Amino acid sequence: MVYLGLLAGFVILLVSGDLLVRGAVALAVKLGIPAIIIGLTVVAFGTSAPELVVSIRAATTGATGIAIGNIVGSNIANVLLVLGLPALIKPTCCNHPFVGRNTCYVVGATVLFVLLCFLGPLQMWHGAILFGLIIAFLLESARRSKGGPRPDGGAKESDVDDLDGVSGLPHTSSMIAVFIVAGLIGLPFGAQLIVDNAIGIAMAFGISPAAVGLTIVALGTSLPELATTMSAALRGHSAIAIGNVLGSNLFNILAIMGLTAIVTPVPVPEVVLRYDVWIMLAATLAIVPFVIRRSSITRVPATGFLIAYCAYIFFVFVPGREMTDLVLN
């Protein structure tokens, strides 16, 4: 039953997140908000809603291992899996103007996050620093953006159709309200199912909640990013993948971990400090050579990414690795 409950939680979470994003984007279009602002705020936060609600729900119910594991595991999956799979279809270009700058931001945020983890439980002031940085990033991105608003100041639906795969927006006010309300109701319900059943799986198999968060939960909450990048690759736009991954990883660390730490202290399990944050940093740095050379991630390195991810999943469940983290926090 715990597996069915976990699966149901993921389905509810993904559908609710999609409804919320579409409803919120439609509302923003109706209010005449420029497309660039919609992309940087409404869509960016909305597509990160699964990680956000799961992490906050886990942290507030005492399963902090799932909360921190979800963030770290999602960032590892985003690089090795979400970048690896599309590159098998078509090489992912890393020579776009924004990639170098945003890669620096992601590397810097990852290093800061690792340092904060070693300062003890992530507290409110840690969260304030992280969340303050995502606000600064959004403001800077909006300032640098060359895609200004239309003369009347608003965005058309066609302007936002390709924002992170958003399309098929509701048009009437009543349907917009239905989409938003359904999303807001479904997200916490799906998150509760995921956290409760993930804890049940951990207890049943004698593994740590952190391990479940790093693998099953992280992979499940990364499905929107994976679906977006695979769809883009199939349409011949695989370069979208690198921007999607960089943005998602930055939001995971700064916005989601920041908000979670503001809501409640988040202790970092010893096993995560010992291994997983360093693996996350290594995965992030794996992008840097391609960005520096302004080259593409082709099938050979993509295959290496996927092999590395499979090896990481195996490593998470290696006997003895979790002996320091068999408690629910």
pLDDT at 322: 57
48 vs 119, residue with greater confidence: 119
Percent with pLDDT over 70 in the chain: 80
Pick the closest to residue 92 from 308, 235, 290, 239 (CA basis): 239
We report the CATH number of the domain holding residue 134 as: 1.20.1420.30
296 vs 108, residue with greater confidence: 108
DSSP 267: P
Q: Total domain count for the chain? A: 1
What confidence tens digit (pLDDT) does each residue in 186-197 have?
Answer: 877 887 788 788
* pLDDT confidence tier of residue 47, bands split at 50, 70 and 90: low
Residue type for position 247 = G
Indicate the helix (H) or strand (E) that contains 296.
Answer: strand 296-297
**Structural domain contains residue 217:** yes
pLDDT at 151: 44
**Structural domain contains residue 290:** yes
Residue 108 C-alpha from the chain's centroid = 17
CA torsion angle 292 294 300 306 (round to 10): 60
Range of the domain at 196: 2-316
**Structural domain contains residue 248:** yes
* pLDDT confidence tier of residue 45, bands split at 50, 70 and 90: low
Alpha-carbon gap, residue 123 to 39, rounded angstroms? 29
Mean pLDDT of 234-258: 79
**Structural domain contains residue 262:** yes
pLDDT at 232: 66
CB 114 within 8 A of CB 291: no
pLDDT at 193: 83
Q: Which residues contact 137 (CB under 8 A, 6 or more apart)?
A: 105, 250, 254
Residue 283 has pLDDT above 70, yes or no: yes
Q: Which residue carries 């409950």 as its tokens?
A: 5
**Structural domain contains residue 329:** no
**Structural domain contains residue 324:** no
Pick the closest to residue 198 from 35, 70, 98 (CA basis): 70
**Structural domain contains residue 322:** no
What counts of helices (H) and strands (E) characterise the chain? 19, 2
Bridge partners (DSSP) of residue 32 are none
Residue 261 has pLDDT above 80, yes or no: yes
